[in-house]
Structure 1
Amino acid sequence: MTVPSILITPAAGHADAPLVVLGPSLGTSTILWEDVIPALAAQFRVVAWDLPGHGASPAASESFTVEELADAVADAVGEPFLYAGVSLGGAVGLCLALRHPAQVRRAAVVASGAKLGEPEGWLERAAQVRAQSTSSLIIPSAQRWFAPDSIARRPELSGRLLHALQGADDESYALCCEALAAYDVRGSLGEIRMPVLAVWGQYDGVAPEAKSAEIASGVTDGSIAEIADAAHLPPAEQPEAVAATLLQFFWEAR
């Protein structure tokens, strides 16, 4: 295992404002957050990061854990920050809260959980991608990612997100799947002391309300919020609602 390399976008917003770091879902890129960033940047300094082999981040060739992804984010940022991440990016947020509590001021965990799926499912997906590439995931990912009307409502952005999945490095994607197969912080939630907001999409079958409720009840200072008419990628599906939810949560830390 090793700490992977990731890249972070240039900061948007005021140079002297508190920093917000945004994390991606597996198979996406910083595109996921592009319609939320302007609203956050009006009050904060905002950066986003890409998973290994996704977007601008270099491909990975060695195994890593979700905890090591969290270490990579903390090292790359290098200062205190507020955090929001989706799915795998949300799992990284919980690991950041556990491993870097002096650096993470608040964490919003979006469409995620303290455990996601079953190990065998992630290992099967890793094998599929190595054999057939991420192109084989386009249809099932579209079905998981988007609420019934999301693609019709935002066809251009939905298409770009699916293209980002197709463009992800196959081995890096598979290694992310293997990291998720080993991920389970349910027994450690009580160690998280900073405020945590667990957010779910109304139609999310991957990380439904029960996942958010488990997080909020397990940490010391947890709360929950639903994003209506969204599934597994709320920042892309309902950017205004996500921005408003995060602004309210982060504003209390200013």
Structure 2
Amino acid sequence: MAKPTVKAVLLSPQRELGAKPLLVVGPSLGTSTVLWTETAALLGDDYDVIGWDLPGHGISPTVTEGFDVAELADAVVDLVDSVSPESAFHYAGVSLGGATGLQLGIKHGHRLRSLSVQCSGAKLGTPEGWLERAGTVRKLGTPVMIQGSAERWFGPGFMDRQPEISSRLLHALRDADRFGYSFCCEALATFDVREQLGSITVPTQVIAGVEDSVAPPSLAEETAEGIRAGGGSAVVETLDGVGHLAPAEAPAAVADLMRTFMKENGL
């Protein structure tokens, strides 16, 4: 195992960093920072928004050996420190990016102002399923995932209503490195922090799409209950008609929920 390197894109207006509170946003497997473009635009006047890409996705370099989600969280902290050393930040992430957020809460909670876990949970899928997918993509490349991902990612009718946004996301999947994607699958195969949720003390928001078959609202409730069991604070929000990529599917709703939560918890 080796800690990967992740790269960032500034999603808010160009200005000197530090004038606004820092918000770091993380992606779902197979996507890039384009997942957050619309939501970040709605939050960019109030927050410095930085999006990071998974290994082999977007602008992040790929990897040649495995890593786990805890090491991905370490890489995000290194990224923040390269931009604003030792600063506290708000964090929001989707699916694997949300799993990374839970690891941040467990391991680096003192750095977080708030945590928004979206379309994710403390355990996603099955090890067998992730390992099978890793093998398939390593052999055939990421385009083999496009049809299945389109079905899993979006709520009913979204691709017809928003062809440009859905096309950008599916192009990010097509362009992802097969090895980086496969190593991310293997990281998800070993990810299970259900027994550690009680150690999260940072205020946490868990957002779920009603139409999400990967991380349904029941998983969001389980995640929040695990945090509350340790004395932490966690709220659950559900979005009708939304599938697995909430910030792209419902940017206004997600931005409103995040803004309210962040202002209630720090800045």
The TM-score range, normalised by the shorter chain, is over 0.9
SS in 1 for 2:254: helix
Partner of 1:160: 168
The alpha carbon displacement at 1:31 in A equals 0.3
SS in 2 for 1:198: strand
1:120 matched to 2:128? The reply is yes
Partner of 1:63: 66
Q: Give the Cα–Cα distance (whole angstroms) in 1 for the partners of residues 5 and 128 of structure 2.
A: 26
Query: Normalising to structure 2: TM-score of the pair?
Result: 0.93
Using the TM superposition, name which of 4-13 and 169-178 deviates more. 4-13
Partner of 2:6: 6
Partner of 1:225: 237
Identity, % of aligned pairs? 48
Deviations 1:46-71 (A, max 9, x none): 11000000001011111100000000
Q: Which runs of 5+ in 2 are unaligned?
A: 82-86
SS in 1 for 2:25: strand
Q: Give the Cα–Cα distance (whole angstroms) in 2 for the partners of residues 70 and 3 of structure 1.
A: 9
Which of the numbers 230, 248, 253 marks the counterpart of 1:241? 253
Alpha carbons 1:24, 1:87 under 8 Å: kept:
yes
Partner amino acid, structure 1, of 2:260: Q
Partner of 1:195: 203
Q: Which runs of 5+ in 1 are unaligned?
A: none
Partner of 1:52: 55
Partner of 2:148: 140
Q: Give the Cα–Cα distance (whole angstroms) in 1 for the partners of residues 158 and 135 of structure 2.
A: 29
State the aligned residue count: 254
Alpha carbons 1:229, 1:238 under 8 Å: kept:
no
Partner amino acid, structure 2, of 1:128: T
SS in 1 for 2:8: coil
Partner of 1:172: 180
Partner amino acid, structure 2, of 1:35: E
The alpha carbon displacement at 1:167 in A equals 0.5
Using the TM superposition, name which of 242-251 and 173-182 deviates more. 242-251
Partner of 1:215: 223
- Give every structure 1 segment of 4 or more consecutive aligned residues whose post-TM-superposition deviation is greater than 4 Å: none
Q: Give the Cα–Cα distance (whole angstroms) in 1 for the partners of residues 149 and 74 of structure 2.
A: 27
